[in-house]
Amino acid sequence: MGAEANLTIGELEAGYPTYCKALRLLIKNGKTLTAIQRTVCWERLSLLQKCLPTRYKSPDYLYALLKRELDQVAA
């Protein structure tokens, strides 16, 4: 957790839309869940959910939601 140690909760929260956009792009580009779980956006989404669980959903939930949404658009 090198880079994350330097981020404040406010900075993480400010980056939330960007992390979600990155997650959407990774899914859209056909990356596997395993590959996505090794990304910075996944780590930061996990950290946000861990620090503020009532405000942020887990990255697994977001992945499933975005995957389903993108699959419906593709169909």
Per domain, the residue ranges of the chain are 29-75
58 against 1, higher pLDDT: 58
Q: Give the global pTM.
A: 0.88
Q: Please, which residues have CB within 8 angstroms of residue 40's CB and are 6 or more apart in sequence?
A: 3
User: For 10-65, what is each residue's pLDDT tens digit?
Assistant: 999 999 999 999 999 999 999 999 999 999 999 999 999 999 999 999 999 999 99
Q: What is the pLDDT of residue 33?
A: 97
| Rounded CA separation 41/4 (Å) | 11
